[in-house]
């Protein structure tokens, strides 16, 4: 059966979402149709609106969510109708080179980088006003119902509160894993985190859980500092308070640079600052924020020659299908909190207000 439901459709760049009635086709072979119960707003969705992340239009955005399986296509064995699930914008097919390698997590089946906006078979499941509507990162969660490939669905604990664990679908896992999986932060080490949105705060939590002794939070919005301290930051600094480059300030504060630094904004200037502020011989800097399209970085290669490591991290380095159910279990066992990352809860029809709150740093 085709389902008619509400969705937030983005018809073109730099315009608000429009709440439309869309038609959602039934799942094909190896596909799953789910009812979205809760979805988060992430800066990566906003990057599509501004053109920093290039995608085709019209499109249904959204990639951080939780929901319930409504129906399954032929050949789907991992989930059944009624199961609680989290959509995975980085799928885990279990067959590609990255899935088979213990060090890899960026499944080749992800739409990240290809920007096709289609299901793996090259078609879409959404129609609006007679027009085909593109998918986003194989998830498209700004709709009451969506269709996913089974490799992009993780079954989770049926007792989990979906309006909280939806954050494990992107923001929380991305930041927490950048510290624990990608950087492998060690006990007693020093860390600097650039950017204190939901993902940056999750990096702070990851550094704390890993046993870092000094966690320096960096943001130009001082309103973020109280929450960063609550979650484990030992120092909070605002680059606007200094008349010298922030990497020099951090070098002085730590006597030669931090062991680990994280860029969680998605700006090239802060990426180079994060690299420069880590220890010149064994420091590790991790890029977590999505880099803007068509921008390059120019930096002095001496920064790397002396021994620093520069890394990237997508979805916190977690193998999604394996890790998401475990992270939900950890949340249920109170190994970490999610409430401080939730600033507002809005009805679906107020999605544009939600994005205004994101853009104003609230």
47 classed as catalytic = yes
User: Per DSSP, what are the bridge partners of residue 278?
Assistant: 258
| Residues present in the chain in total | 362
Higher pLDDT, 267 or 114: 267
42 classed as catalytic = yes
pLDDT at site 51: 87
Distance CA 19, CA 51 (A): 21
pLDDT at site 249: 98
Question: 49: which 2 tokens?
Answer: 């609106």
**What digits encode the pLDDT tens for the residues 250-262?**
999 999 999 999 9
| CA nearest neighbour of 340 among 248, 208, 205, 173 | 205
pLDDT at site 291: 84
149 classed as catalytic = no
% pLDDT > 70, the chain: 100
pLDDT at site 295: 83
303 pLDDT above the threshold of 80: yes
44 classed as catalytic = yes
Distance CA 195, CA 263 (A): 7
pLDDT at site 293: 78
Residue 169 φ then ψ, to 5°: -70, -15
Distance CA 227, CA 197 (A): 10
135 classed as catalytic = no
Vertex 204, ends 199 and 205: CA angle to 5°?
Answer: 95
**What digits encode the pLDDT tens for the residues 65-108?**
999 999 999 999 999 999 999 999 999 999 999 999 999 999 99
Exactly one of 63, 135, 149, 247 is catalytic; name it.
63
Exactly one of 42, 93, 166, 278 is catalytic; name it.
42
Residues 257 and 279 sit within 8 Å (Cβ to Cβ)? yes
Work out the number of other CB atoms within 10 angstroms of the CB of residue 198. Answer: 24
Exactly one of 166, 170, 191, 277 is catalytic; name it.
170
pLDDT at site 318: 97
Domains and CATH numbers, the chain: 3-171+317-360 (3.90.180.10), 184-312 (3.40.50.720)
Vertex 90, ends 108 and 136: CA angle to 5°?
Answer: 100
**What digits encode the pLDDT tens for the residues 132-184?**
999 999 999 999 999 999 999 999 999 999 999 999 999 999 999 999 999 99
Confidence label for 52 from pLDDT (cuts 50, 70 and 90): confident
């Amino acid at each position: 059966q085709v389902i008619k439901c509400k969705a937030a459709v983005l018809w073109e760049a730099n315009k608000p979402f429009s709440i439309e009635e869309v038609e959602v086709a039934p799942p094909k072979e190896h596909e799953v149709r789910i009812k979205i119960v809760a979805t988060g707003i992430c800066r990566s969705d906003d990057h599509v609106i501004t053109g920093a992340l290039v995608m085709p239009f019209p499109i249904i955005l959204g990639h951080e969510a939780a929901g319930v399986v409504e129906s399954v296509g032929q050949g789907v064995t991992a989930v059944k109708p009624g199961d609680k699930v989290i959509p995975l914008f980085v799928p885990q097919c279990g067959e590609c080179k990255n899935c088979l390698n213990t060090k890899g997590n960026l499944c080749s089946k992800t739409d990240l980088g290809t920007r096709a906006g289609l299901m793996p078979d090259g078609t879409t499941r959404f129609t609006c006003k007679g027009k085909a509507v593109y998918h986003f990162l194989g998830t498209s969660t700004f709709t009451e119902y969506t269709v996913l490939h089974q490799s992009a669905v993780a079954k989770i604990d049926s007792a989990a509160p979906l309006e909280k664990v939806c954050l494990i679908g992107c923001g929380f896992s991305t930041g927490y894993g950048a510290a624990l999986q990608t950087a492998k932060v060690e006990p007693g080490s020093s860390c600097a985190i650039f950017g204190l949105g939901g993902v940056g705060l999750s990096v702070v939590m990851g550094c704390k859980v890993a046993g870092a002794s000094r966690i320096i939070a960096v943001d130009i919005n001082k309103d973020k500092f109280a929450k960063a301290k609550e979650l484990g930051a030992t120092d909070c600094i605002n680059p606007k308070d200094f008349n010298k480059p922030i990497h020099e300030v951090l070098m002085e504060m730590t006597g030669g640079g931090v062991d680990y630094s994280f860029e969680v904004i998605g700006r090239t200037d802060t990426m180079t600052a994060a690299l420069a502020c880590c220890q010149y011989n064994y420091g590790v800097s991790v890029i977590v924020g999505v880099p803007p399209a068509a921008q390059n970085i120019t930096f002095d290669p001496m920064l790397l020659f002396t021994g620093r490591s520069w890394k990237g991290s997508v979805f916190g380095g977690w193998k999604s299908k394996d890790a998401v159910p475990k992270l939900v279990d950890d949340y249920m066992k109170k190994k970490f909190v999610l409430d401080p990352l939730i600033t507002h809860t809005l009805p679906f029809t107020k999605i544009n207000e939600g994005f205004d709150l994101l853009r104003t740093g609230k």
